[in-house]
């Protein structure tokens, strides 16, 4: 039995069950994909092993349907210990950078309530993009901005190995997830399963809806990301909810067909 991610007491999720037709399709598609992609899979494993120390497979806990937690499989694309470096690289989060570029940043020199309470003038004063701001206020806003971003993505991630960059560009590292599909952890199409640190930010009524869909290898967000690379964190969450409300078997087939061209593009979600 899978573990359950702890959410607020008022939020309850009945066990989600996919339709029989979708489940049969998932199994047949996954078996066929593994059979076809095995040579690519084996070649990637050899290069991973030759380039850097560590296991060939990356196994991590992910939150899927109904907040179920399961072991998520990928080919390892990063150096060992990369997960522990995530906090150090938070300033490089592409979602945070895009939010800053969109203008949702520092616009004026508000009074710093902390300095005001102490009866002291703001010091030191920083000049950020032509705006004067108290260092204390600046650090507080930066912290709030970071905490408000749900997802984590780095462009040109320094933690990637050379082989890792290649297999990520062509989504080869995702091949082991067909095993997750056969096991019943995931579906071919659905909302991406999330790391625990991302899922814990999506437990309110507005965004918890996304967990009523199966966890998927591909989905509406990935397809939309291919045509609109700079989707915001809010847009991604909205697309996940949209999939839950409008999903269908034939809709899934369309998403799969739209996903195939994206596999051969270097732009990675």
* Same domain assignment for residues 161 and 254: yes
Rounded Cα distance between 185 and 178, Å, is: 10
* Same domain assignment for residues 100 and 181: no
pLDDT tens by residue, 137-193: 656 665 555 555 666 677 777 889 999 999 998 899 999 999 999 999 999 999 999
17 sits in the region (left: phi over 0; alpha: psi -120 to 50; else beta) called beta
pLDDT, position 175? 96
* Same domain assignment for residues 213 and 165: yes
* Same domain assignment for residues 132 and 166: no
- In this structure, what token pair is assigned to residue 52? 């850097």
Distances (CA, A) of 140 to 114, 145, 191: 11, 9, 32
* Same domain assignment for residues 99 and 206: no
* Same domain assignment for residues 123 and 164: no
Q: Is the pLDDT of residue 99 over 70?
A: no
Listed ranges 86-95, 146-155, 206-215, 256-265; the one with the highest mean pLDDT: 206-215
pLDDT, position 198? 83
Number of structural domains found in the chain: 2
The pTM of the full predicted model, rounded to 2 decimals, is: 0.74
- In this structure, what token pair is assigned to residue 1? 């039995």
Q: Is residue 268 part of a domain?
A: no
* Same domain assignment for residues 29 and 49: yes
* Same domain assignment for residues 81 and 99: no
Give the domain extent around 132. 94-148
Q: Is residue 269 part of a domain?
A: no
* Same domain assignment for residues 160 and 250: yes
Q: Is residue 68 part of a domain?
A: yes
pLDDT, position 150? 63
């Amino acid at each position: 039995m899978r573990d359950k991610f702890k959410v607020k007491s008022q939020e309850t999720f009945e066990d989600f069950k996919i339709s029989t037709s979708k489940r049969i399709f998932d199994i047949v598609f996954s078996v066929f994909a593994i059979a076809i992609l095995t040579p690519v899979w084996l070649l990637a494993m050899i290069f991973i092993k030759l380039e850097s120390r560590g296991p060939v497979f990356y196994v991590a806990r992910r939150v899927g349907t109904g907040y179920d937690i399961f072991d998520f499989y990928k080919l390892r694309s990063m150096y060992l210990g990369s997960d522990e470096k995530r906090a150090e690289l938070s300033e490089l989060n592409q979602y945070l950078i895009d939010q800053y570029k969109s203008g949702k940043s520092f616009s004026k020199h508000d009074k710093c309530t902390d300095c005001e309470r102490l009866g002291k003038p703001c010091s030191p004063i920083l000049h950020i993009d032509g705006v004067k701001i108290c260092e204390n206020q600046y650090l507080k806003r930066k912290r709030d901005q970071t905490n408000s971003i749900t997802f984590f993505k780095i462009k040109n991630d320094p933690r990637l190995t050379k082989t890792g960059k290649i297999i990520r560009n062509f989504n080869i590292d995702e091949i082991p997830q067909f095993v997750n599909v056969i096991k019943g952890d995931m579906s071919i199409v659905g909302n991406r399963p999330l790391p625990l640190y991302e899922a814990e930010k999506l437990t309110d009524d507005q965004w918890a809806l996304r967990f009523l869909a199966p966890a998927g290898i591909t989905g509406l967000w990935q397809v939309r990301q291919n045509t609109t690379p700079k989707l915001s964190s809010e847009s991604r969450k909205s697309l996940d909810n949209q999939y839950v409300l409008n999903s269908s078997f034939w809709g899934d087939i369309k998403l799969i067909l739209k996903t195939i061209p994206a596999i051969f593009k270097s732009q990675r979600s």
